[in-house]
């Protein structure tokens, strides 16, 4: 059951910011929340689809000195195959596990008063779950040397004859003696 943000929707600064005053320093059982919004996150050959929402189902748990966040996030990516340069779309899912704490260190996210901003945590979890090298699948046709020249579809010369990239060097050599 997703909780309702304690302020009217018009007063919220961001879909990623949540008031956790009911959890900090208590022994409450936790609270479920959902983030459902579009984002503009990407890496070199892979990006989240702009018009598909990122949906994060999270549970906030009170812990000593902060709030633990667990759950999962689902999203859709558009990636370019590193071998054939084809664009594909993939539905993905990542696990969430993070700690928001008042202490300023490299292992936790900041707890600002009684609010947490889960955007950086979600961005980190999503982008770290993406593959470093993307491939369109087991049936990938392979190498493409340029966007206009797919070596898997046939000849690359103007006259339809496949030419060696070293053919131009033969004109640089003099006649054999």
CA 104/CA 131 separation, integer angstroms: 30
What is this structure's pTM?
0.71
Q: Higher model confidence: residue 139 or residue 37? A: 37
Q: Higher model confidence: residue 5 or residue 45? A: 45
- What does the pLDDT read at residue 11? 46
- What does the pLDDT read at residue 146? 55
- What does the pLDDT read at residue 112? 83
Per-residue pLDDT tens digits for 123-176: 999 999 998 888 887 778 776 555 555 555 554 455 545 566 676 677 776 666
Q: Name the residue range of residue 160's domain.
A: 9-172
- What does the pLDDT read at residue 136? 82
> Does 1 reside within a domain?
no
> Does 3 reside within a domain?
no
> Does 81 reside within a domain?
yes
Q: How far is CA 172 from CA 69, 119, 167, 169, in A?
A: 67, 59, 10, 5
- What does the pLDDT read at residue 89? 92
Number of independent structural domains in the chain: 1
């Amino acid at each position: 059951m997703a909780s309702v943000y304690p302020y009217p929707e018009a007063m919220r600064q961001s879909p990623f910011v949540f008031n956790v005053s009911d959890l900090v320093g208590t022994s409450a059982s936790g609270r479920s929340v959902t983030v459902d919004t579009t984002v503009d996150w990407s890496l070199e050959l892979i990006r989240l689809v702009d018009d598909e929402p990122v949906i994060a189902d999270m549970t906030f748990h009170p812990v000593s000195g902060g709030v633990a966040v667990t759950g999962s996030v689902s999203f859709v990516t558009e990636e370019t195959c590193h071998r054939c340069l084809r664009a594909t779309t993939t539905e993905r899912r990542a696990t969430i596990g993070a700690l928001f704490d008042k202490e300023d260190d490299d292992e936790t996210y900041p707890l600002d008063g009684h609010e947490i901003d889960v955007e950086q945590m979600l961005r980190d979890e999503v982008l770290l779950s993406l593959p470093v090298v993307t491939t369109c699948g087991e049936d990938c046709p392979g190498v493409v040397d340029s966007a206009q020249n797919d070596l898997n579809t046939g000849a690359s010369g103007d006259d339809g004859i496949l030419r060696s990239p070293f053919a131009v060097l033969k004109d640089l050599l003099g006649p054999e003696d």
